Chain A
Amino acid sequence: MNLLTAVLFIPLAGFLVATLLPRNNPQASRIWSLAVSLITFVASIGLLNWLDRATAHEQFMVDVPWISSPDIHFAISANGVSFWLMMLSTLLTPICVLISWKSIQHRVKEFFAFLLLLEFGLIGVFLAQDLFLFYVFWEISLVPMYFLIGIWGHDRRIYAAVKFFLYTMAGSVLMLAAIIYLYIKAQTFSYPAILDQLATGRLTFAPNEQLLLFLAFFLAFAIKVPLFPLHTWLPDAHVEAPTAGSVMLAAVMLKMGTYGILHFCLPLFPSAARQCAPWIAVLAIIGIIYGALVAMVQPNMKKLVAYSSVSHLGFVVLGIFSFTQQGMDGAVYQMLNHGISTGALFVVVGLLYERRHSLEIKDYGGVATVAPWLSTAFLITTLASIGLPLLNNFVGEFLVLQGTALANYKWAIFASIGVILSACYMLWLYQRVFFGEANHEVGSHVFDMKGREWAAMVPLIAMMVWMGVYSQSFLPPVSNVTAKVLKQTQINVPFRVELRRPASLEVANGR
């Protein structure tokens, strides 16, 4: 047991206590969940002190036997990538508590309890090092999000919640089959042990077998990312979810997919991943451009931001499948960036919704005149999102495009169209909402940011600037890990190719 375990379990303990709080005292629930999420955040900051930034190894390892037969362990650890994603979850949860303080007025107790349960599931996904445990967290994170969308969402919330649940479920059952299959082959669920077996050649897959296993994992992750054409659940879920749900969904939950690809798909099935890379890259590029084009014509702000997520996550997938150091670094950095900047976008859109009670762009206009600070916050977030230099997204997009160009120049050209388009739709959105005449509704309802809202926005804006100006605070641990992943995919590839021919011989002798 160490501090990492504490970071994981504080939200769960908080959830269990939150379910026991009195129903008729919503303030107690709010304060409790704020306290719990802040303690979790502080604990994760504390952990930062001990993070070895110069290694690619798994750190803070905990390995406790859980179930004896089949041998399942409670095994968690963090590396340079999962650590930041965990921090992202612990940072955004208190922010979500803050922005839901007033906007959630009904069934308050359950809302905040589910938020804490969600944090538990998300942190667990990033830390789990046992495939079974990973699947457990993967599914657990689904349940609170389903309720968050379904109970506190907007008009079509039920449709969106069910669609969200079923999409993810359908994708993940095949992953479960693949996990069991891996277990039967490797006789362990321990991820490091499986990688070790792969590295030493004790575990090998026939090409077809590897391809099918890769696809089973990849489908689950691609739905979560979401990769075009599996993205259709996302706009529904985002639009219908309450603000906190959208923030957690966009900022953290989508990263489950990209993290899964990077952490599991590539090291486990390197040659299948390389084999599929061109196809996946094309889908990612289609997603980048299609997402941006569709975002441009959306009349609904949340839908616009949702489609922009499809576009941004396309960059992440493209970066990973460029199989270059820069591309992968950029992909991970872009995961974090997207978490911060799109999270912030959903927050400010949520603030507008709380005031004007509409998500339609046409209902706004001239907000800058009545709420200058809110407009400033939105502007910084917008600029970050479109990749202005000195703000965070620029670094990530630049690295991704650089890596992609090294891998395939044409991909980079097409992908950079997405960068241009993102400037179009975001700035146009900004223009329509914040400039022009303030209509009567806007004038009478929209007021500027208040203390609690500042508290939610300032950390995010600070992060945008920090990550944009001084990426060295974040990138070195990431690079170590991505270098390792890259090595894993390279070592095994010639090895696989070598084996491909005598494989039939091996089978003949073995049986």
Chain B
Amino acid sequence: MGASIMPTMNPADAIRFLPEIILVVMATLMMVLDPILNKRGSYAFGHISLLALIGGIGASIFAYQHAGPAFGGMLWVDGFATFFRVLVMVVGILTVLPSYRFLAKQEAETSEFHALLLFSIAGQSIMAAANDLIIIFIGLEISSIASYILAGYLRDDKRANEAALKYFLLGSFATGFFLYGVALIYGATQSTNLAVIRMNQAGPDAPSPIFVGVAAALIFVGLAFKISAAPFQVWAPDVYQGAPTPVSAFLSAGPKAAAFAIFLRIFMTAFEPIGSGWEPLVWGVALLSMTIGNFAALLQQNIKRMLAYSSIAHAGYVLVALTARSEIGVASAMFYLAAYAFMNIGAFAVVSHLSGRGEKYQSIEDFSGLAQRQPMTAAMLAIFLLSLIGVPLTGGFFGKFYIFRAALESHLVWLTVLGLLNSAVAAYYYLRILVMMYMREPSEAANAAEPLGAGLRAALILPALGTLFLGIFPNWVLDFANRSSNLLK
């Protein structure tokens, strides 16, 4: 057992770790370049980070050609890892695109923003490929610390400060829980490697399942914070509301997808043997998240808060997939997270476009008449909202369909029925925005909205195309997800 986790360095390890290397090097480079290129509103750093992310995607695909364990099994590059690596980097690209205009509008520094973004994505990328609780923890921390700073990036903004502080404090608590769990499981199974943990739960000197269960519960709590599942969701609305809008978009998609990746990996491998124990727990948390998210979202007036609650509800849907405890469940969660990343980032991009200087316009009323002033922007947001509702031919619908199919296949009839009814409730608050945009007279915000720039245009069209593509031709992504959903090594 000791040999299998012995760190040894070889060229294959470097290839399998290449995406993270690229991101971290480029991020560091940006900080070095900052004094040289230091101009407020310079687009250079945005270009660099786009380059880095595209390179990272290329490297991830290249690494997938050489799939296998790295660093003695601490990382494991497989289809699952590649899927999430590419996903978080695509999320990164879609965050960078609208941030050009946004940062210029808010007169904020650009270099640190992009460097932090890359660090955070590097952390998520590590999480995606990690196969060892320690590496998972390192990835989680790299990702989180950068995100805490990003949440408070507009340092003169009171709300942003509040968001950053809240996010930091609660996030640290969550990490604490996670670490307790890791420590316990290490004590019980003498390993932090997921495969070994699973292996050591069987056999003559297996630890007490109660011991493992407590560790699993602690890790569950830590991760539930990260994915903002109820009842650990309280931070999300405040943080999403206070953080700069591109950052909120990023937080709701990137770190969440990565957290789900490790969630799935840990619970479908290390804690798979005690699955029947944690299934009721996840069942309850899934239902609670959907219900609290959707019903609280009904009452929101602030669009960012509403999207925050909606993201809590969507975390609930993905947890339904985890409750199914099957390969189809994992595949459906992967698909859903991809679809969700597109539609949610797209929706936030519209919000950041409309919000104006100092993020003045954030209320749902401010969307009034957008369709008459900027039909293209409104049409894109309509696509994202219809996808969030789950109307066919969008990725959101197919993802939901696939999740509930997995759930029914695992005989979770009640969870399916309650989840689907929840999604009917959710239609109401998404429709409210459609009503505002299409059926009301233009508001001050719609009149003040500036024309779409090139970056923002791309940041809207790409996710819209992605949403429709996932809805009309889901095969491509789905096949890949199905092929990589077996996490047991």
> Which A residues contact B (CB, under 8 angstroms)?
19, 23, 67-70, 107, 110, 132, 135-137, 139-140, 142-143, 146-147, 150-151, 157-158, 161-162, 165-166, 169-170, 173-174, 176-177, 180-181, 183-184
Contacts and interface: CB of A to CB of B under 8 A. Distances in A.
Contacts of A169: 389, 424, 427
B80 to A, nearest CB: 17
B431 A165 contact: yes
A184 B435 contact: no
B409 A67 contact: no
Contacts of B417: 174, 177
Interface stretch (B171-179, B238-246, B284-292, B472-480): B472-480
22 contacts: A69-B478, A70-B405, A110-B375, A137-B392, A139-B391, A139-B392, A139-B397, A140-B391, A143-B391, A150-B434, A150-B435, A151-B438, A161-B435, A161-B439, A162-B431, A162-B435, A165-B431, A173-B423, A176-B401, A176-B420, A177-B420, A181-B413
B341 to A, nearest CB: 20
A140 B420 contact: no
A146 B431 CA distance: 10
B424 A157 contact: no
B439 A68 contact: no
B54 interface: no
B146 interface: no
Contacts of B393: 136, 140
A176 B404 contact: yes
Contacts of B423: 173
Interface in B396-414: 397, 401-402, 404-405, 408-409, 413
A183 B420 contact: no
B386 interface: yes
Most buried by B among A110, A161, A180: A180
Nearest to A19: B379
Contacts of B424: 166, 169-170, 173
Contacts of B379: 19
A173 B401 CA distance: 10
Contacts of A183: 405
Given A146-B431, A181-B413, 13 more contacts: A67-B474, A68-B478, A110-B371, A139-B391, A147-B438, A150-B435, A162-B435, A166-B427, A169-B389, A170-B421, A173-B423, A176-B420, A180-B416
Contacts of B409: 184
Given A166-B428, A170-B421, A177-B416, A69 B408 contact: no
Given A67-B478, A136-B392, A174 B420 contact: yes
B89 to A, nearest CB: 26
B143 interface: no
User: For A69, A151, A157, A161, which residue has the most chain B Cβ atoms within 10 angstroms?
Assistant: A69
A170 to B, nearest CB: 4
A135 B420 contact: no
The 10 A-B residue pairs whose C-beta atoms are closest, nearest first, are A136-B392, A173-B420, A170-B424, A150-B439, A139-B392, A169-B424, A173-B424, A180-B405, A169-B427, A180-B408
A181 B478 CA distance: 20
Interface string B119-152: 0000000000000000000000000000000000
A184 B405 contact: yes
A65 to B, nearest CB: 9
B482 interface: yes
B404 A165 contact: no
* From B392, B416, B421, B482, residue with most partner A Cβ within 10 Å: B392
Contacts of B474: 67
Nearest to B472: A66
A110 B437 CA distance: 14
B28 interface: no
A176 B413 CA distance: 12
A140 B416 CA distance: 22
B482 to A, nearest CB: 6
A69 B479 contact: yes
Given A140-B391, A173-B420, A180 B386 contact: no
A173 B417 CA distance: 8
Nearest to A170: B424
Given A135-B392, A140-B392, A166-B428, A177 B404 contact: yes
A180 B439 contact: no
Q: For the side of the interface on B, what is the size category?
A: 35 or more
B112 to A, nearest CB: 41
B372 interface: yes
Contacts of B434: 146, 150
Given A68-B479, A158-B439, A162-B435, A177 B408 contact: yes
B428 A184 contact: no
Nearest to A132: B401
Interface in B356-408: 371-372, 375, 379, 386, 389, 391-393, 397, 401-402, 404-405, 408
A215 B478 CA distance: 31
B405 A165 contact: no
Contacts of B438: 147, 150-151
Nearest to A212: B413
Given A165-B427, A169-B427, A68 B475 contact: yes
Contact of B401 (A142, A143, A147, A180): A180
A213 to B, nearest CB: 11
A48 B379 CA distance: 37
Contacts of B402: 70
Interface in B37-54: none
A167 to B, nearest CB: 10
A354 B129 CA distance: 65
A151 B368 CA distance: 12
Contacts of B405: 70, 180, 183-184
- Between A23, A132, A136, A140, the greatest number of chain B beta carbons within 10 A of the residue's beta carbon is seen for A136
B259 to A, nearest CB: 27
A135 B471 CA distance: 13
B408 A181 contact: yes
Given A136-B393, A161-B435, A67 B475 contact: yes
A256 to B, nearest CB: 15
B408 A162 contact: no
B412 to A, nearest CB: 11
Contacts of B413: 181
B428 A162 contact: yes
Nearest to A159: B435
A169 B425 CA distance: 9
Contacts of A67: 474-475, 478
Contacts of B386: 143
Contacts of B397: 139
Nearest to B420: A173
B379 to A, nearest CB: 8
A180 B408 CA distance: 7
Contacts of B371: 110
Given A69-B478, A139-B391, A176-B420, A23 B439 contact: no
Nearest to A142: B391
B486 to A, nearest CB: 14
A132 B402 CA distance: 12
Contacts of A136: 392-393
Nearest to B409: A184
Contacts of B428: 162, 166
**Most chain B beta-carbon neighbours within 10 Å: one of A23, A132, A181:** A181
A135 B393 CA distance: 11
A110 B112 CA distance: 43
A482 to B, nearest CB: 29
Nearest to B331: A69
B404 A23 contact: no
Contacts of A147: 438
Interface in B253-284: none
Interface in B457-487: 474-475, 478-479, 482
